A and B are shown apart, each in its own frame.
Chain A
């Protein structure tokens, strides 16, 4: 079934660890996004990509990095996790020229 998948669903790690959050979509979408969601609700765009080898920083400054080597894959990496990185991370995708976003189920990250 065409969808957007995120793994892991939950992640608890210690400070200083390097982590990669995975996001893959099987819908053939060219645009992909990473949002950080506060516990209180608000969605903040932290990275986006309009195609392979294209990545841009979003509106909210983030210490994370992303890569887009394949159309369907858009992983997010934190080199050294800190408690301030504790949040939910939502991946999304859309098809070129259309604005509807399809979201993944999210990764709830807790850094101790």
Chain B
């Protein structure tokens, strides 16, 4: 089955700087890669996703890049703000009815 590795497990960034979280996946058939954000005490929520026919996707201060050859994808957050502090999960699936496989999570702390 699919295996997703996520790094780093913790990340501290000065407010205003950029943060990057990286994930690698094992199954070349995977074609859907979402990112979820879980604030302290709250439910995980989808923040951005990308499909394998696209190399990059942006939504305001967040972006995701995908390298299918290397089987890795990354989340980029620019101009970080205190409300970006949360746990971020990457995931991968083959789409459709296939289950999502989650990474182990990254705890991002924004230092004021």
- From B45, B89, B93, B107, A99 is in contact (CB under 8 Å) with B93
Per-position 1/0 for B28-47, Cβ under 8 A of A: 00001010100000111110
- From B1, B49, B97, A50 is in contact (CB under 8 Å) with B97
How many residues does chain A have at the interface if contact means C-beta atoms less than 8 Å apart?
A: 21
Contact between A41 and B107, CB atoms less than 8 A apart:
yes
Q: CB of A101 within 8 A of chain B?
A: yes
**What is the CA–CA distance of A45 and B42 in the complex, to the nearest angstrom?**
18
Q: Could you show 28 A-B contacts with beta carbons less than 8 Å apart?
A: A40-B105, A41-B87, A41-B89, A42-B102, A42-B105, A43-B44, A43-B89, A43-B102, A43-B105, A45-B100, A48-B99, A50-B97, A58-B99, A59-B1, A59-B99, A59-B101, A90-B43, A90-B44, A97-B96, A97-B97, A99-B95, A99-B100, A101-B34, A101-B36, A101-B46, A103-B45, A104-B43, A105-B43
CB closest chain-A residue, reference B33: A99
* Residue positions of B touching A, CB distance < 8 A: 1, 32, 34, 36, 42-46, 49, 87, 89, 93, 95-97, 99-102, 104-105, 107
B38 CB to nearest A CB, Å:
8
- From A42, A97, A101, B100 is in contact (CB under 8 Å) with A101
